Amino acid sequence: MTCELILGGARSGKSGEAERRAAASGLAVTVIATAEALDDEMAARIRRHRADRPAAWRTVEAPLALAATLRREAAPARCLVVDCLTLWLANLLAGAETLPPGADAEALPRFRDERAALLAALPALPGRVILVANEVGLGLVPETPLGRLFRDEAGRLNQAVAACCTQVVFVAAGLPLVLKQG
């Protein structure tokens, strides 16, 4: 199994880099999309992403049950592109605004279970997996407790996933910088 993590900021080119790597793999490609079209703007973004991909690529939606979807879709002759872990995390943190001050996301059973399932599944998946995630910790400290919780959990998730991956790439201004190889 080959597992890669592509990190970057908004509009950095990380999805494009993941798609280039998937196309170059020579494998059948399945995109696992974590976004939900909850408003018109997000629906337009989803349509744009789909239109940019080759017609032969399959798309599977997995806004919450990512590990189960990965286990079901992974195969030796297949490349899976997960776009993106950050939206998946946001989906899992629904309800976090009700946590007591200072609590972490581990208090949310669905978050705790899905995150653990993902980290357990990644090393055992056949084929190639390319995960896309935002690096959100490079900017300002969020003003709200929920914003800070999201930023912290995104950083923790990126670190844990990077530890499972054989390659980690950071994309800025459309340029990939290899952080981990091998």
Q: Which residues are catalytic?
A: 49
User: Binding site annotation covers 28?
Assistant: no
State yes or no: 128 annotated in a binding site.
no
Whole-angstrom distance, CA of residue 82 vs CA of residue 131: 5
147 annotated to bind ligand: no
9 is known to lie in a ligand binding site: yes
Question: Could you tell me which residues come within 8 angstroms of residue 101 by beta carbon, excluding any fewer than 6 positions away?
Answer: 145
- How many helices, marked H, and strands, marked E, lie in the chain? 6, 7
User: Any binding-site annotation on 33?
Assistant: yes
- Any known ligand binding at 61? yes
CA distances from 18 to 6, 65, 157, 178 (A): 7, 21, 18, 13
Q: Is 152 annotated as a binding residue?
A: no
Alpha carbons 135 and 119: distance in angstroms, whole number: 18
Q: Which of 60, 71, 84 is nearest to 126 (CA)?
A: 71
Q: Has 139 been labeled as part of a binding site?
A: no
Is 86 assigned a ligand-binding role in the annotation? Answer: no
How far is 99 from 95, CA to CA, in rounded Å?
8
The answer to whether 10 is annotated as binding is: yes
180 among the known binding-site residues?
no
- Minimal CA–CA distance to 136: which of 7, 3, 5, 33? 7
Neighbour-count burial of 109, counting CB atoms closer than 10 A to its CB (0-12 exposed, 13-18 middle, 19+ buried): exposed
**Residues annotated as binding site for GTP?**
8-15, 33-35, 50-53, 61, 83
**Residues annotated as binding site?**
8-15, 33-35, 50-53, 61, 83
